[in-house]
Amino acid sequence: MLPVIAIVGRPNVGKSTFFNKVAGRKISITENRPGVTRDRITADCEWRGRPFTLIDTGGIELKSEDTMWKQIALQAQAAVEMADVILFFTDGREGLTSSDYDVADYLRRSKKPVVLVVNKVDDYSPDKLFEFYSLGLGEPISVSSEHSRGVGDALDAAVASFPQGEEVEDDSLKIAVVGKPNAGKSSLVNRLLGQERTIVTPIAGTTRDAVDTRFERDGKKYTIIDTAGIRRKRSVEDDVEYYSVLRAFDAVRRADVCLLVVDAQEGITEQDLKIIGYVHEQGKPSVIVMNKWDAIEKDTHTVQKFEAELKEELKFMDYFRSAYVSAKTGQRTEKLLTLAQEVYDHAGFRVPTGALNDLLADAMRVSEPPSYLGRRLKLYYASQVAVRPPLFVLMVNDEKLLHFSYARYLENTIRSAYDFSGTPIRIQLRNKKDGE
C-alpha cells in the first residue's frame, strides 16, 4: 500500500481546501462552516516523484457530547491510526484554541510523525507563528491553502517522514455502493469490511462524500466506495448535499462495479430507477442488492415474486443480477464480493470474431432483418472491439435500416450464447464503404 498522510485538526481550519489543492481536483466538499466534511475522504497523489494516499477528515471536537461530532471524531481517530504521517492543521487567523491543545495532546499519544501546519497565513511574518510552538509539536509551517502558498513546504516535511519500503500499484476491484438515502449503504459497507468504516446513524444523508476503503479478502484486493445517498433534484435544498450527489455520480464513473442498494421494504422506487438507469448508461456492471431482507415477511415464493417485479421494472436492463441481503444481520452479504467479481469478469469477456459472425448469421437466417422501401438490412461482418462494457460493431449496408426491436433481438442472441449477465453490452452499426 502507498504511504498515508492524514489531514487532521479542529473544524473549519481549511483542511479540505488543502486536500483539494494537493489532489488537483475538487474532491472534498468545502464550505465555510464547521462539520461539512464528515467521513474520511482519500485521494492518491504524488509529490516530487513520491506517490501517497492523502486522507481528509472531519474536524475533531474531542470534548463535544453531540452524537454527530462524536462520530466524526471517531472517523478522524481511525484515520490517524492508519496514517504514516499526520498533517495537523491550525488556523493562523484565529490563533490557538483549547480544541487545538486537545488535538495536539491526542496526536502526541499516537506516536506518529506530526507536521504542524498553520493555515490561512496570507501575509507571512515570523511573529504570527510564535504561539504555535507552545503545542510542543516542533516548528510550525505557515501555509495559505487558498493561495497555494506553503503547500509544497508542508508536503516536503510530510514526505520526508515516509517509512522506507516498496510501493505497489493499486490493482484492486473498485466497487461503488450507490442508492438513495437510508437504503442501508453504509451499514452494508461496514458489514463487508467487518469494521465501523463509515458513519452509520439513523439520520438521512449522514454520508456526504464518496469514501474509499481498500481491503483484502481471500487473497483478492478490493476498494469499496461508499457514496452519499442520491436524492431527487427537488429534494436537494442544501448546496453541500448537491455536491454530494455529484460526488456519487463521479464514484459510479470511476468504479469497476456498482452495488445498487434498494430498500426491499419499499421496493423499486422512481428514484431507484433513476440511479440504476444512470449506472446502466455509464456501462457499468452491477448487482441489484435488495437490502433489509430480514424485515420482509416471506413464504416459499417471496423471492420469485420480487424477481418478477424487478424484471417488470427493469425492462431496460433485463441482464440484471440480484441479491437479497440484510446488512443488519449479515444475511447473504458474504456473497456480494463474489457476485461483484463475477459481473466484472462478464464485462471483460471477449467473443471470438469467427464465433460471433457465425452466431449472428444464424440469427439473421432464423429471423429476417427488417427492410424499408424495398431495402433490407445486410450484415457483412461483426467484431467485438471493446470490453467493460462489451462493444460489438456490425458492418452493414445501411445502419438506418436497423429497427430498435431487431437490435434487441441481436443483443439477446449474443446473451443467450455467452454469459453477459450483470453487464450492459453495446451494439454499434457502421455503414460499409466501397472498398472495405
- Give how far Cα 328 sits from Cα of 177, 185, 195, 235, Å: 16, 11, 13, 27
- What single letter denotes the amino acid at residue 321? R
Please, which pLDDT band fits residue 31 given cuts at 50, 70 and 90?
very low
pLDDT in tens, 129-139: 899 999 999 99
- Whether 4 shows a pLDDT value over 60: the answer reads yes
pLDDT in tens, 86-116: 999 999 999 999 999 999 999 998 999 999 9
pLDDT of residue 73: 73
How confident is the model over 30-59, as a mean pLDDT? 70
- Whether 36 shows a pLDDT value over 50: the answer reads no
pLDDT of residue 370: 86
d(CA 425, CA 392): 8
- Whether 28 shows a pLDDT value over 50: the answer reads no
pLDDT in tens, 355-400: 999 999 999 999 999 888 888 999 999 999 999 999 999 999 998 8
Total residues found in the chain within this entry = 436
- Whether 246 shows a pLDDT value over 80: the answer reads no
How confident is the model over 226-252, as a mean pLDDT? 63
Q: What is the 3-state secondary structure (H, E, C) of 39-85?
A: CCEEEEEEECCEEEEEEECCCCCCCCCCHHHHHHHHHHHHHHHHCCE
pTM of the predicted protein model? 0.65
H-assigned helices in 238-379: 239-254, 270-281, 302-313, 336-347, 353-366
d(CA 75, CA 81): 10
d(CA 334, CA 336): 6
- Whether 124 shows a pLDDT value over 80: the answer reads no
Cis? peptide before 389, omega within 30° of 0: yes
How confident is the model over 314-332, as a mean pLDDT? 95
Name the residue with higher pLDDT: 178 or 75.
Answer: 178
* Mean pLDDT, rounded, of the chain: 85
Q: Which of 293-297, 336-340, 402-406 has the lowest mean pLDDT?
A: 402-406
* Percent of the chain surpassing pLDDT 70: 84
d(CA 381, CA 393): 9
- Give how far Cα 379 sits from Cα of 306, 329, 386, 393, 406, Å: 39, 53, 19, 11, 13
| Beta strand extents in 144-281 (DSSP E only) | 173-178, 211-217, 220-226, 257-263
pLDDT in tens, 6-20: 999 998 899 989 998
Please, which pLDDT band fits residue 181 given cuts at 50, 70 and 90?
confident
- Whether 319 shows a pLDDT value over 50: the answer reads yes
Q: Give SS3 for 183.
A: coil
Q: Give SS3 for 6.
A: strand
Q: According to the per-residue pLDDT averaged within each range, which of 5-9, 168-172, 421-425 is highest?
A: 421-425
Name the residue with higher pLDDT: 8 or 28.
Answer: 8
In the chain, the domains with their CATH numbers are: 4-160 (3.40.50.300), 173-347 (3.40.50.300), 353-431 (3.30.300.20)
